[in-house]
């Protein structure tokens, strides 16, 4: 440095958070990473430059987070094992966590760029199907915000959830190439890659000490390469990591084959290995027979456990203290094979006594069940399982043998009980019951809403609850108020903050209730309505642009967005629309408050009925929207390709949230909560978490209809005949007749016959039984909406009273009741 020159303090463009520093940092990243100047940069280049800027500012906390887990001897961390993490767009939420939106906005504006446009341009990673994967992401957010050390372990799918397009009303699936332009948030950690075996055989041998041991010789080895994504908590100081494994070939290129001219064979291994993490399986498809899916499950469970053991060894802690380092949460049964793998590692590879290994294993694991639908409980045919994981099958048999010895000792003579509890279903084909493996291998099992846990204990897992009642507990789901209020609804967030300060963002449970004081304040009410209207206008622009459908922001926005499944009953909703349409047609002059009914959600590609319901919605929309008698008072729209990003526009714009599953079928639901905290009032059944939401908001702030779970069982027991309902309710009868007679399909009577016949002759989810009650409920909704003061109060009270449904509360519950971890912050 030449003498005498006055040193200006050096601007650290890698961490500075002023507008000036951020501006320079964006320019530097633009130039040094993508080789662009502002003159040549594309929107993607700008996005990447800003993303790297944020990542740079997360690295300190990120590294501290990794050190925390790998250096602190007395610390217990959560290992959250989940086949899905539906993390959604990253830029907006990271900017929010770091708290630098304003200087960043200013920096970008000075470069002629708009932060919101850049945020909107992000292509989200669709690494999940729906609620389960999104829940995992909300929990990662809450753990980082509360200061709970955690690693999320999952799969780095090359193709996530398919992109949905609609052609002539039918769903068309397209590959989701989310990695095409790279993913700036992740860091690939080649040095922590591990090998995972598959197939082959297991044999016994005598070790040097003369002991009988088992050795598994896999036929195939695959390299699992970790891709780390930072998960930073609100406030920007605490950071955890999401570690997603991608499959690579151990030897990507067989030079021998290449030199002998077999070019295809030279890369065969690479192609086969990479298949493992190629694509996310859509749910709602039968599990049977998908060997690749079991391969995926084992792949990520095994890689994650190896990684944890590496950390344990790095800490210098003995293996039988493994449970003091990690609380391993099984998010559904997808990673349940980890129970057998940890036993294999302990017993076969580290020569631990079976009893000791089992004691440590069961202290590590806990299991969350997410479904009551019997067809969704995973079962693997023994033959398929043994072919892929021969040693694990033996271990499962041994776990089962010991378990059944205990059962028979405690309940002598009750062979029925032993058969029901067995990890093996003896019915043909014999199969491994993954939920049973998860329950037996865990010290805690939880359902995801009070009703769901109750039904688990009294029905689906009744026998386990009888023999080990202490294992069962409830942790009601929650959603992060950061993404699903602060980020997605900035107008409402600012309005709330102006009244109660901003502590609600990370203390939602305690703070949001203070909004109650303003529920009847006319000025606040007017502001509240203005915000809802503005949010609806935003959605209306999107609908106009993407669908060519005109939605009026003064209409009531009535929304059902979620995966398509018969138990969720989108067909009940569309039958309601048809009935309302008929009412208008019957008396076009009668008063009818404008109503916009919106749908969104994907159907599994192989789910015939769900796809047909999507088509029916489109056809009904075409007829209703074009009818001059309706005159725009009833509008139907289907928003394609529903994902996290679309959700962030939809939730803030809803007046009415449709949560209409048949009671006893939806484990919890989380969309219900996302709508609720954005001020939508629920029209719903007593199912899943709706039950608790209604308790919190009060019956007067919830539109209830339908059979209760016990009534469902009762009606079915007495022999449910849907035709009786169709014959005795003329409104329902007419709606069904219209669908059947081709009123929405230009006279084609075939296209929707499967739906109508299924409803009339089967109706497993009791659409017809709940229809009349749903229509009555609709009448009370219309009445409530006519009284704007009353409806606004309902909306405010929904937000104010839903503090419980923050995922921060859920994580505190897990920490206290299951993981025995004390959050470091908050
Ligand atoms: C889903 C349930 C939802 C629940 C989420 C998250 C599966 C297997 N289950 O009701 O259907 O909200 O899990 O717990 O995806």
- For the stretch 462-472, pLDDT in tens is 999 999 999 99
Whole-angstrom CA distances from 431 to 90, 385, 434, 666 are: 40, 8, 9, 26
pLDDT digits (tens, 9 = 90+) for 159-206: 999 999 999 999 999 999 999 999 999 999 999 999 999 999 999 999
Report whether pLDDT(221) > 60.
yes
Whole-angstrom CA distances from 3 to 6, 7, 10, 407 are: 9, 10, 17, 84
Is 563 in the active site? yes
Percent above pLDDT 90 for the chain: 92
pLDDT digits (tens, 9 = 90+) for 473-500: 999 999 999 999 999 999 999 999 999 9
Using the mean position of ligand 1's atoms as its centre, give its distance from the Cα of residue 438 in Å.
17
Report whether pLDDT(4) > 50.
no
Beta carbons of 245 and 154 less than 8 angstroms apart: yes
- Give phi and psi for 360, each to the nearest 5: -65, -45
d(CA 182, CA 208): 50
Q: pLDDT at position 255, please? A: 75
Whole-angstrom CA distances from 242 to 139, 167, 232, 455, 598 are: 11, 36, 10, 32, 34
Is 568 in the active site? yes
Q: Is the CB of 745 under 6 A from ligand 1?
A: no
Q: pLDDT at position 173, please? A: 97
Is 459 in the active site? no
Residue from 433, 568, 618, 665 carrying the catalytic annotation? 568
If 0-12 CB within 10 Å is exposed, 13-18 middle and 19+ buried, where does residue 314 land? exposed
Helices (H) and strands (E) in the chain, counts: 33, 23
- 287 confidence band (pLDDT: 50, 70, 90): low
Is 820 in the active site? no
d(CA 221, CA 4): 64
Using the mean position of ligand 1's atoms as its centre, give its distance from the Cα of residue 773 in Å.
26
Is 71 in the active site? no
Q: pLDDT at position 7, please? A: 62
- 811 confidence band (pLDDT: 50, 70, 90): very high
Q: Is the CB of 661 under 6 A from ligand 1?
A: no
Q: Is the CB of 687 under 6 A from ligand 1?
A: no
Side-chain-facing half-sphere of 515: CA atoms under 13 Å: 35
Beta carbons of 145 and 482 less than 8 angstroms apart: yes
Q: Is the CB of 451 under 6 A from ligand 1?
A: no
Percent above pLDDT 70 for the chain: 98
Q: pLDDT at position 734, please? A: 98
Out of 70-74, 212-216, 735-739, which region has the weakest mean confidence (pLDDT)? 70-74
d(CA 544, CA 628): 19
Beta carbons of 236 and 98 less than 8 angstroms apart: yes
Report whether pLDDT(283) > 90.
no
Residues 6 or more apart whose Cβ sits within 8 Å of residue 60 = 15
Whole-angstrom CA distances from 707 to 370, 552, 711, 714 are: 22, 33, 6, 10
Q: Is the CB of 332 under 6 A from ligand 1?
A: yes
Out of 131, 280, 445, give the residue to mutate to test ligand 1, the one with the largest number of ligand atoms within 8 Å of its CB: 131
Which residue, among 249, 259, 30, 238, has the nearest Cα to 144 in the 3D structure? Answer: 238
pLDDT digits (tens, 9 = 90+) for 649-708: 999 999 999 999 999 999 999 999 999 999 999 999 999 999 999 999 999 999 999 999
d(CA 826, CA 808): 10
Task: Give mean pLDDT, residues 118-144.
Answer: 97
Specify the higher pLDDT residue, 404 or 261. Answer: 404
pLDDT digits (tens, 9 = 90+) for 155-168: 999 999 999 999 99
Task: Give mean pLDDT, residues 340-358.
Answer: 97
Beta carbons of 472 and 130 less than 8 angstroms apart: no
Residue from 227, 363, 562, 812 carrying the catalytic annotation? 562
Q: Which residues pair with 557 in a beta bridge?
A: 596
pLDDT digits (tens, 9 = 90+) for 556-577: 999 999 999 999 999 999 999 9
Is 370 in the active site? yes
Q: What is the pTM of this model?
A: 0.97
């Amino acid at each position: 440095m030449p003498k005498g020159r006055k040193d200006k303090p050096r601007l650290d463009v890698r961490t500075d958070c002023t507008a000036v520093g951020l501006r320079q940092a964006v320019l530097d990243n633009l130039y040094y990473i993508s080789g662009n100047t502002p003159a040549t940069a594309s929107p993607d280049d700008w996005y990447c430059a800003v993303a790297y800027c944020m990542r740079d500012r997360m690295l300190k906390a990120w590294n501290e987070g990794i050190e925390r887990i790998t250096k602190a001897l007395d610390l217990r961390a959560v290992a959250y094992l989940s086949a899905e993490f539906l993390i959604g767009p990253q830029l907006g939420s990271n900017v929010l966590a770091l708290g630098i939106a304003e200087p960043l906005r200013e920096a970008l504006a000075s470069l002629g760029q708009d932060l919101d446009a850049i945020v909107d341009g992000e292509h989200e990673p669709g690494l999940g199907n729906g609620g389960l994967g999104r829940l995992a992401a909300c929990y990662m957010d809450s753990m980082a915000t509360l200061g709970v050390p955690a690693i999320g372990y999952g799969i780095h799918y090359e193709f996530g959830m398919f992109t949905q397009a609609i052609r002539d009303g039918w769903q068309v699936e397209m590959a989701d190439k989310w990695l095409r332009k790279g993913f700036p948030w992740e860091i690939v950690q080649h040095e922590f890659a591990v090998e995972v075996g598959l197939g082959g055989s297991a044999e016994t041998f005598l070790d040097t000490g003369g002991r009988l041991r088992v050795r598994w010789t896999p036929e195939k080895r695959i390299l699992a390469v970790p891709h780390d994504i930072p998960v930073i908590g609100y406030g920007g100081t605490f950071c955890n990591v999401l570690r997603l494994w991608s499959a690579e070939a151990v030897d990507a290129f067989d030079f021998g084959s290449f030199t002998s001219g077999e070019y295809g064979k030279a890369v065969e291994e690479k192609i086969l290995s990479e298949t493992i993490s190629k694509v996310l399986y859509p749910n709602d498809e039968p599990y049977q027979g998908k060997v690749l899916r079991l391969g995926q499950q084992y792949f990520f469970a095994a890689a994650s456990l190896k990684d944890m053991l590496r950390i344990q060894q790095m800490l210098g802690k003995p293996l039988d203290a493994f449970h003091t380092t990690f609380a391993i949460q099984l998010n559904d049964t997808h990673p349940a094979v980890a129970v057998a793998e940890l036993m294999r590692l302990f017993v076969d590879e580290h020569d631990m006594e079976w009893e000791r290994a089992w004691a440590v294993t069961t202290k590590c694991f806990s299991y969350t069940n997410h479904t009551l639908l019997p067809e969704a409980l995973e079962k693997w045919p023994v033959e398929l399982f043994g072919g892929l994981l021969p040693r694990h099958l033996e271990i499962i048999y041994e776990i089962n043998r010991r378990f059944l010895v205990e059962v028979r000792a405690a309940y002598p003579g009750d062979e029925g009980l032993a058969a029901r509890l067995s990890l093996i279903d003896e019915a043909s084909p014999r199969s491994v019951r993954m939920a049973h493996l998860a329950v037996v291998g865990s010290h805690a099992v939880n359902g995801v809403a009070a009703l769901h846990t109750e039904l688990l204990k009294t029905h689906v897992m009744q026998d386990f609850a009888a023999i080990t009642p202490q294992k069962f507990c409830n942790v009601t789901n929650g959603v992060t108020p950061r993404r699903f209020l602060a980020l997605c609804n900035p107008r409402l967030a600012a309005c709330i903050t102006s009244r109660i300060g901003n502590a609600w963002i990370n203390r939602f449970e305690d703070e949001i209730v203070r909004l109650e004081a303003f529920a009847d304040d006319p000025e606040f009410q007017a502001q509240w309505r203005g915000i809802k209207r503005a949010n609806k206008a935003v959605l209306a622009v999107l609908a106009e642009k993407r669908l060519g459908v005109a939605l009026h922001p003064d209409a009531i926005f009535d929304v059902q967005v979620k995966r398509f499944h018969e138990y969720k009953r989108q067909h009940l909703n569309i039958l309601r629309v048809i009935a309302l349409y008929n009412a208008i047609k019957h008396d076009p002059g009668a008063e009818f408050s404008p109503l916009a009914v919106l749908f969104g959600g994907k159907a599994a590609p192989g789910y015939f009925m769900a796809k047909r319901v999507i088509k029916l919605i489109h056809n009904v929309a075409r007829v209703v929207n074009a009818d001059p008698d309706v005159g725009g008072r009833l509008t139907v729209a289907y928003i394609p390709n529903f994902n996290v990003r679309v959700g962030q526009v939809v939730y803030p714009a809803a007046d009415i949230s449709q949560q209409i599953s048949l009671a006893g079928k939806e484990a919890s639901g989380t969309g219900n909560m996302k709508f609720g905290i954005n001020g939508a009032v629920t029209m719903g059944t007593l199912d899943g978490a709706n039950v608790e939401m209604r308790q919190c908001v009060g019956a007067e702030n919830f539109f209830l209809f339908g059979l209760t779970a016990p009534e469902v069982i009762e009606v079915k027991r007495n022999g449910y005949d849907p035709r009786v309902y169709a014959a005795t309710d003329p409104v329902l009868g007419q709606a069904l007749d219209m669908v059947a007679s081709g009123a929405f399909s230009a006279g084609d009577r075939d296209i929707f016959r499967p739906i109508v016949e299924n409803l009339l002759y089967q109706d497993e989810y009791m659409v017809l039984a709940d229809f009349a009650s749903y229509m009555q409920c609709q009448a009370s909704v219309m009445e409530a909406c006519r009284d704007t003061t009353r409806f606004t109060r309902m909306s405010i009270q929904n937000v104010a009273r839903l503090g419980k449904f923050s995922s921060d509360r859920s994580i505190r519950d897990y920490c206290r009741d299951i993981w025995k971890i004390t959050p470091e912050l908050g």
